[in-house]
A and B are shown apart, each in its own frame.
Chain A
């Protein structure tokens, strides 16, 4: 059975800390791994990773994929209270249907 597992389930840090969120997967016909940030409403797209070892960066956020070990990490440096959210990992799989299978998310709380 295909699955995406995220850890930790929740995390509390202080502003300025660096955090690492983990995502492992076992998905048939893997195409890409995606990270989303979900505050109160819509998940918003952060990164798509298709190739191993190539780091994607956007400001204080970065992510990398290891297709041999079947995992990805999302790093956030110098955290701010605005980073508080649920971070979702999802795997794009299959052929022409563009379907995603999601992990349950990591709830990050950044305290002032």
Chain B
């Protein structure tokens, strides 16, 4: 079975532009979450979606938004890009939204560089 897949793997954007990152969860997984990992830091939680509803949001500005589709895939959108948005964006999926008895699987990430 395929793992969590993310696209694109690498991209370069200019300040002020918009970016859309995509994630396909493991088949059967209904929960998708997004993380930002700045170089030299641990992942920071951005969003969690479960059954197409937002179930959690981290401390990120409104420029960041996401959605989950009926097939449980997800998009992360970032508007008005800043240089500080340059990071590895990780998507993770799991069967349910709870931590208990649940394993979270991460994709390999999308490297975003803002110039």
Instruction: Specify whether A and B are partners.
Output: no
